[in-house]
Amino acid sequence: MEPVPASIVAALRERTWARLVRAAFLRGDFVLSSGRRSPFYIDKYLFETQPELLRDIARLLAREVPPGTMRLAGPALGGVPLATAVALETGLPFVIVRPEPKDHGTARVIEGQLSPGDRVVVLEDVVTTGAQAVRAARAIEAAGGRVILVFAVVDRHEGGREAIEAAGYRFGALYDLARTPVPAES
């Protein structure tokens, strides 16, 4: 697949954010995975299951994959469609990181091939506390991989970046709610 020309990246980012908000930004009273309550929720499944939107997100994410990356990683469940789509954009192989080993078959935490020393980018959907991203990164390192970046579609700007960086990982996001404002109620 041809990379997105630099001349249209800003417009694609803006258009993709607007589409993501329309598709997946919900207002109400939500309990987040952290246990905290929030007046809004970004439903990753609503943006990750729309092929055209997922394709544009993958194109933007592919631009953020550092040179020398050998493998992508998608934490189950939300990171898997992202890793798949970015793998199709970049040609890089990927692994799936389970939250815990399955209790049958191979009993693996990491599904797919990960070789010792592989330079890995962990792809996340929406980061709030960063706990899932850190757990996935540590699992990759325990299996011999080297995590060079954790990159999210959306950083809710609620401590996730700080937690990921405090754990020793570089972090980035396509959209950071500190710089990309939460849409006003309509």
Q: What whole-number distance in Å separates Cα of residue 52 and Cα of residue 63?
A: 17
DSSP SS3 for 152 = strand
Confidence of residue 1 (pLDDT cuts 50, 70, 90): low
Amino acid identity at 103: D
Residue 74 scores a pLDDT above 60: yes
Instruction: Please count the other Cβ atoms lying within 10 Å of the Cβ belonging to residue 165.
Output: 13
| Residues 121 and 65: beta-carbon distance below 8 Å | yes
Question: In this predicted structure, what is the pLDDT of residue 101?
Answer: 76
Any bridge partners for residue 33, and if so which?
A: none
Q: For 113-154, how does the pLDDT look when each residue is reduced to its tens digit (9 = 90+)?
A: 999 999 999 999 999 999 999 999 999 999 999 999 999 999
Residue 182 scores a pLDDT above 90: no
Q: For 41-66, how does the pLDDT look when each residue is reduced to its tens digit (9 = 90+)?
A: 999 999 999 999 999 999 999 999 99
Question: In this predicted structure, what is the pLDDT of residue 3?
Answer: 67
Structure tokens at 20: 């993501």
Residue 2 scores a pLDDT above 70: no
The class level of CATH for 6-176 reads alpha beta
Question: In this predicted structure, what is the pLDDT of residue 115?
Answer: 97
Looking at every residue in the chain, the average pLDDT score rounds to 93
Q: For 83-100, how does the pLDDT look when each residue is reduced to its tens digit (9 = 90+)?
A: 999 999 999 999 999 988
Percent above pLDDT 90 for the chain: 82
